[in-house]
Structure 1
Amino acid sequence: MNPALFRTAVVLGLLTAVGPFAIDMYLPALPSIGADLGAGTAAVQMSLLVFFLSMGLGQIVVGPISDMIGRKAPLYLGLVLFVAGSVGSALAASVEWLIAFRFIQGLGASAGMVVPRAVVRDLHTGVEAARLMSLLMLVFSISPILAPLTGSLIIEAFGWRAVFWAVTGAAAVAAVLLATALEETRPRHLRAASSLGSALLAYRLLMGNARFLGLSLIGGFGVASFFVYLASSSFVLIGHYGLSPSLYSVFFSINAVAFFTMSQLTGPLSQRFGLRRVVRVAVAGFATAMVTLLAVMAAGFQSLAVLAALLFVGYGFLGLVIPTTSVLAMDDHGEIAGSASALMGTLHFATGAGSMAVSGLFFDGSPLPMVTAIAACAVIALALTQMTLGRAGRAAPQAAE
């Protein structure tokens, strides 16, 4: 393995993981936050929803800024905002203040989501970009695998507020890595050609590109299925199935292992079969697993083992979908990589937040509403794949195939 490639993946993966770390460590605390602050389930879920919304909306601004002034400066600013939001959340006296500071925290986290994808596009395209993206996701997997368990241990020992002090420390580590181990990848002559006007033109170009939108939304509805799971799983698994916070963390981590293990096959599978074919097969597998789960649950077989097995299979396939659709969507847009990454990220998070909000309207503490929403996201992703990459769809450049 190329040492420079691996070092870049480690730094980008950890920068990307800071925001999700504030989600995954937080999940086991949702029931206890409601009890401590005297808030209902909907209000506590809102503190998660606004984080997703601000993390998505922030990307639409940060992406073009990274094209104009370089990749590193927006990352520093994002970490500062993230720390401010984390400290405020730790000190929040009510759920309303918690929601407000989670919004600020999400704005800061948005830089870590959008800029690393732009850096990948600065350095590579095609299969090499897919290989770097899969390595980045391997490092990123530290968050959903270890963070819930770490969060539950911190919560049991020190209470839910300690989670926010822990993520503040994680942001400090990320700042050190940013300063010492990542070079600027946006040359000055390219920055000079970027402006607010060029950003608006870039967004207009991308919004008119059916292939870019289709690929972004395929990944978006895959991400949305996971957002629905994030918002509901602690209430379903702890409240309905009676798991302890620690066992819930183990359950959550198992699905993350499936996702990130499969993501490591992105490079070799793409090299052998092409990115386009990998996306089509992976989305079909994802949709098949989630629809099967819905059918089984609707028939009355709601055992925890069935839920665990089919989520494991479905999210394993999703691990191939996210990196491949991201690379294909950005392959033709190197000159506006920051804007392309920003719009794609915003579409991912807007789709996820919208799906989470809609599913929340029907949530009753049982697994069926959660599973129904997850399956619906998977079916929509499959339909978009057929429209975007089906035989009738516009062929991708051979380099990206």
Structure 2
Amino acid sequence: MQSDLVRMALILGLLSCVGPFAIDMYLPALPAIADSLGAPVEATQYTLMSFFVAFGICQLFYGPASDMFGRKPPLYFGLVLFAVASVGCALAPTIEWLIALRFVQGIGAASVMSIPRAVIRDRYTGTQATRLMTTVMLVISISPMLAPLAGSALIGPLGWPSVFIAVALATVVSLILAATGLPETLQPANRVPFRFSAMTSAFGTLLRDPGFMGLTIIGGFGMSSFFVFLSTASFLYTGYYGLTPTQFSLAFALNALGFFASSQFAANLGERFGAVAVVRWAVTGFAVSASLMLAVIAAGFAEFAVLVAMLLLCNVFLGLVIPTSMVLSLEEHGPIAGTAAALGGALQMLLGAVAIVIVSLVFDGTPLPLVAAIATCALAALAISALTLRSAQPVAVQP
């Protein structure tokens, strides 16, 4: 890989870790937050839901803003807002305040979801873009592997508010990194002047594009399956299976490892077999493995090792679906890459938020609601891929 790709992957990966750290690092704290603030499990899960709603909707503003003003100014705004809201979360006196401040935190975090995607599209397309996207995801893999462990280490001696203070400090470091190491990839001559009609026209173009919408929803159902795992895993692993926060963090890291390990093969597989073929076969594998997991758990084989092993298998396929579908969805929309990345991210986050709400209503502390939700997301992604990719040719996308 060229040195420029490595440098961009490290910077964009570390910036992109800001949002996941705000999720993964505080997952071990969810039971402690419920006890400390006297909140029911459902209300604590809504702190995730409110974050995802803001995280999704606000990408619709950051994307067009980055097309109009350049990539870096909206990124600065989002990082500063995220840091301030993180401090507010640490000081939240009630669960209602925490839900509201998590919403504000999601507004800031949305900047590091859509803008790095647009930066990648500014500089690269095709196989190079997929390779960079998967390398960014490799850097992001630090989050699900280390963030829960770091959160567990802080919660014990310092309490759950320390998690948000640590996230705020990490955001300040990210802001410095963005200011000093990230080039502005959208030059003034290529920026789109603000016109409301142009913005709505761009959104209309994307919403009418069956390829963009289909690939976005395929990735969205894949991400939704992971979001429902995020919202229930800490209660399931510590409550039903009796794990300690540290043991939960290690099990969580193992599940995430399957996703990020397989994602590193997405570019090579796409180059050899075609990105469309990779998405088609990976979605099929995801649906088959998730359906098998549901059948096994429903049959009463709900041992912890069985669940972790089957989640790991599902995540192996998911690691091929998400980065490849992201790159393909942006491939034909270079002039409005920021808007396309924003709309795609928003739709995916909103799908995830809806999935969290549904699962929170039916979650009974056992593994069955979780695996049923994952299987439903996988089968929905398979159905959309059958419609969207039916006539697509399995050829590699060239730069």
The two structures have a TM-score, normalised by structure 2, of 0.98
What are the superposed Cα offsets for residues 8-45 of structure 1, whole Å, 9 maximum, x if unpaired?
01111111110110100010000010100011111111
Alpha-carbon distance between aligned partners in 1 of 2:44 and 2:58, rounded to the nearest angstrom: 22
The Cα of 1:196 is off from its aligned counterpart by: 3.0
Large movers: runs of 4+ above 4 Å: 394-398
Contact 1:70 1:184 in 2 (8 A): yes
CA distance in 1 between counterparts of 2:346 and 2:281 reads 25
SS, match of residue 399 in structure 1? coil
CA distance, structure 1, for counterparts of residue 96 and residue 77 of structure 2: 25
Using the TM superposition, give the Cα deviation of residue 199 of structure 1 relative to its aligned residue in structure 2, in angstroms: 1.5
Partners of 2:7 and 2:196 in 1: how far apart? 32
For residues 94 and 399 of structure 1, the distance between their equivalents in structure 2, rounded to whole angstroms, comes to 50
Correspondence for 2:121: 121
Query: Residue 274 of structure 1 contacts residue 400 of structure 1 at CA under 8 Å; is this kept in 2?
Result: no
Amino acid at match of 1:177: L
Is 2:207 the counterpart of 1:212? Answer: no
Superposition deviation, residue 197 in structure 1: 2.4
Deviations 1:347-379 (A, max 9, x none): 110111111111111111111011100110011
Q: For residues 89-132 of structure 1, give each alpha carbon's deviation from its aligned partner in whole angstroms, at most 9, with x where no partner exists.
A: 00011111111111110000000000000001101111111011
Is 1:154 matched with 2:158?
no
Q: Which residue of 1 aligns with 2:46?
A: 46
SS in 2 for 1:354: helix
Residue identity opposite 2:233 in structure 1? S
Whole-angstrom CA distance in 1 between matches of 2:36 and 2:396: 56
Structure-2 residue corresponding to 1:31: 31
Q: Does residue 338 of structure 1 match 2:338?
A: yes
| Counterpart mapping for 1:195-274 below 5 A | 195-274=195-274
Contact 2:273 2:396 in 1 (8 A): no
Conservation of the 8 A alpha-carbon contact between 1:89 and 1:98: yes
* Corresponding position of 1:399: 397
Q: Which runs of 5+ in 2 are unaligned?
A: none
- Residues 273, 395 of structure 2: 8 Å contact kept: no
In 2 relative to 1, CA 194–400 (structure 1 residues): closer, same or farther, beyond 3 Å? farther
Query: How high is the TM-score relative to the length of structure 1?
Result: 0.97
Return the alpha-carbon distance in structure 1 between the equivalents of residues 148 and 78 of structure 2.
23
Are 1:77 and 2:77 an aligned pair?
Answer: yes
Aligned-partner residue type, residue 233 of structure 1? A
Q: What is the Cα deviation at residue 399 of structure 1?
A: 3.0
| Letter in structure 1 aligned against 2:330 | M
> Would the aligned equivalents of 1:122 and 1:334 in 2 still touch at CA under 8 Å?
yes
Q: Is the 8 A contact 1:290 1:314 kept in 2?
A: yes
Across the two proteins, how many residue pairs are aligned to each other? Answer: 399
Distance 1:394 1:334, change over 3 A: same
User: Is this contact kept in 1: 2:272–2:396, CA < 8 A?
Assistant: no
Question: Residues 174-196 of structure 1: CA distance to partner in whole angstroms, max 9, x if unpaired?
Answer: 01110111100011112145533
Structure 1, unmatched stretches of 5+, are none
Cα separation, 2, equivalents of 1:141 and 1:255: 11
State the Cα distance separating 1:307 from its structure 2 match: 0.3
